[in-house]
Structure 1
Amino acid sequence: MNPHDYCQQKAAASGSSFTISFTLLPREKKQAMTALYAFCREVDDVVDEVEDPQVAAIKLAWWRQEVERLYDDGTPQHPVAQALAEVIKTIPLDKELLLEIIDGMEMDLTQARYADFKSLQLYCYRVASVVGLLSAEIFGMTQRATRKYAHDLGMAFQLTNIIRDVGEDARRGRIYLPMDELQRFNVPAADILNSRPTEAFAALMQFQIERARGFYEQAFAALPAADRRQQKPGLVMAAIYRSLLEEIAAEPGLVLTHRISIPPGRKAWLALKAWIKG
């Protein structure tokens, strides 16, 4: 199995909506996006699947070395990094941004709570906005403002993920919603950890949803017309993720006990509609 086939298999196994967004890309860009996505999955799996935090930290340190090898001599060991080695020959992906993704994963080993939105925003930047910036580079951009678009869209996606996964994260002992906002809305952490929907929790979630909506709007406003066509894959994902956010908004208390999702057929329709609209 060659490195790009490995990445394709890794991406397909995830079942993520993100893979829909780059299926219509030209072959080189599609391979680049698949390699980037596979890298994100590999380092994320370290945190999700390795129970011992010390072992997970060692594995992430190995991935950090692998990124260094990728850029130093072009001879990394892992098939995902080998695929990225081919990518960076033609697309200038920033090494520091790949390392930032690992920084974000390391935060999950040491933090299960976030005091305020500022601290959460750093986490979201590292695990999502950075991916948006790298993706925008792969898609192709000519305008500086496109970086602002990519940053804010990544933030919107991660906030949507956090909103969707409140219950799932709580069952792992994690709460990503800022602690000061729980206090402001009079939602005890115990209500979230024990899946107790209340009116106060619904109000807290509505506040989170409005913030995510705001980042979507900021992103769209920042995207220059000159780069809109090249950045269509991000707009495809935005169509799917915004639809997911509105599904949650209809009954936010469900996130404590259910994983809200968009059916595959509807995802495909939203993706096609967004691609045509461009």
Structure 2
Amino acid sequence: MSVAHYENFPVATVLLPRALRPAVVAIYRFARSADDLADEGDAPASERLAALRRYERAIDAIGEHLPPDEPPFPELAQAIARHQLPLAPFRDLLSAFRQDVTTTRYADFAQLQDYCRRSANPIGRLLLHLYDAHTPAQVAWSDAICTALQLVNFWQDVAADWQRGRVYLPQEDLAHFRVAESDIASGRLGPEWRALMEFEVTRARRLLESGRPLTRALGWRQGLELAGVLAGGHRILDGIAATGGDVFRRRPQIGAFGWIAVARDALFPPLRHVRPSAAP
């Protein structure tokens, strides 16, 4: 994406139709700026929640054709009006960002999925509206991919999130694999941690692949770009797996040579990416 928070999965590339690029950039600038309010400031929680409420009022104002003058809302309002975008996905995003301020643990995967439904899936749904491709099947595939990409981001950022006081790994998974939060704090790479991360990597891979039919349901440009997003997700998961789940000493990411591999895998997906996985 063309803003820094989304460096793993760029979307506003040459493959995106020129007419859609301003809308995509406006959506991601909104998401980034709101995420900054929730995630990266030193302000007290009450101030961050108040700032997010101002964003909610701005979305309401856009719905009433009275967009605020300050960025990122004028460009966002133009995109919403031009492409008849629904407002619900923006409200869902803000709901997730509020949750980031107030919630630091997730009891089980169902709770984490509910968070992803609001923090990640709305982006995919908005893109589908831009592509005029939002049948129930297409939405389901998009939701699977977006949730998977959110999981990829969680797994690569375990150490950074710990520093923010957050643990996105479900508590039930930690208990099942006998991993304590003190293991995260110390960066301990015991067999329990490696087994946990193998499980979580497999879970994310399966979700990514369950959405792959969407690459064939879109136009060739959007489909190829989405295939690149899938390849990027797998590339980061490969990096996590290659280190036995060591996300503490070096954050897994896609380097310069990695992007060459991503382009290759977008055109020719490896069998290990497309073959159905056994249940973890």
Task: Using structure 2 for the length normalisation, give the TM-score.
Answer: 0.87
Matches within 5 A, 1:1-278: 11-14=2-5, 16-20=7-11, 22-51=13-42, 52-141=44-133, 143-221=135-213, 223=214, 225-229=216-220, 230-268=222-260, 270-271=262-263, 274=266
* Residue identity matched to 2:28: Y
Instruction: Write out per-residue CA displacement over residues 158-197 of structure 1, whole angstroms, 9 at most, x where no aligned residue.
Output: 0101111111111222110000110110001111122222
Q: 1:136 to 1:154 in 2, by over 3 A?
A: same
Query: What is the CA–CA distance in structure 1 between the aligned matches of 2:212 and 2:225, rounded to whole Å?
Result: 13
Letter in 1 for 2:7: S
Point out the more displaced range, 131-140 or 155-164.
Answer: 131-140
The offset of 1:78, in angstroms, is 2.6
Distance 1:232 1:74 in 2: 37
SS, match of residue 89 in structure 1: helix
Aligned residue for 2:277? Answer: none
Q: 1:268 to 1:63 in 2, by over 3 A?
A: farther
- SS of the equivalent of 1:259 reads coil
Residues paired across the two proteins, number: 267
- Percent of aligned pairs sharing the same letter: 30
Higher helix share: 1
Contact 1:67 1:95 in 2 (8 A): yes
- Does the Cα contact within 8 Å between 1:143 and 1:224 map onto a contact in 2? no
Mapped partners of 1:94, 1:74: distance in 2: 16
1:272: how far off? 6.8
The alpha-carbon distance between structure 1 residues 96 and 202, as it changes in their structure 2 partners (threshold 3 A), is same
Would you say the 8 A contact 1:75–1:82 is kept in 2? yes
Contact map agreement 1:97 1:130 (CA 8 A) in 2: yes
User: 2: distance between equivalents of 1:19 and 1:153?
Assistant: 14
CA distance in 2, matches of 1:134, 1:91: 10
Q: Could you tell which deviates more after superposition, 96-105 or 15-24?
A: 15-24
Residue identity in the other structure for 2:83? I
Q: Deviations over 1:202-241 (max 9, x none)?
A: 10111101110110121114x2844252443322211111
Contact 1:35-1:80 at 8 Å conserved across structures: yes
- Cα distance in 2, alignment partners of residues 195 and 98 from structure 1: 36
Q: Give the Cα–Cα distance (whole angstroms) in 2 for the partners of residues 57 and 142 of structure 1.
A: 32
The answer (yes or no) to whether the contact 1:35–1:84 under 8 Å persists in 2 is: yes
Instruction: Give the alignment's Cα RMSD to 1 decimal.
Output: 2.2
- Please list every run of 5 or more consecutive structure 2 residues that lacks an aligned counterpart in the other structure: 270-280
Distance 1:219 1:13, change over 3 A: closer
**Is the deviation greater in 66-75 or in 156-165?**
66-75
Mapped partners of 1:272, 1:153: distance in 2 = 19
Relative to structure 1, is the Cα distance of residues 193 and 23 closer, same or farther in structure 2, using a 3 angstrom cutoff?
A: farther
- State the Cα distance separating 1:38 from its structure 2 match: 0.7
CA distance in structure 1 between the aligned counterparts of 2:264 and 2:59, rounded to whole angstroms:
35
Aligned to 1:3: none
In structure 2, C-alpha distance between the alignment counterparts of 1:253 and 1:12, rounded to whole Å: 27
Whole-angstrom distance in 1 between the partners of 2:143 and 2:150: 11
- Give structure 1 stretches of 5+ with no counterpart: 1-7
Partners of 1:256 and 1:172 in 2: CA distance: 14
CA contact (8 A) 1:22 1:33 kept: no
Deviation, structure 1 residue 269:
5.2
Moved more, 11-20 or 83-92: 11-20
Contact between 1:166 and 1:256, CA under 8 Å: does it hold in 2? yes
| Shift in CA distance, 15/70, structure 1 to aligned 2, threshold 3 Å | same
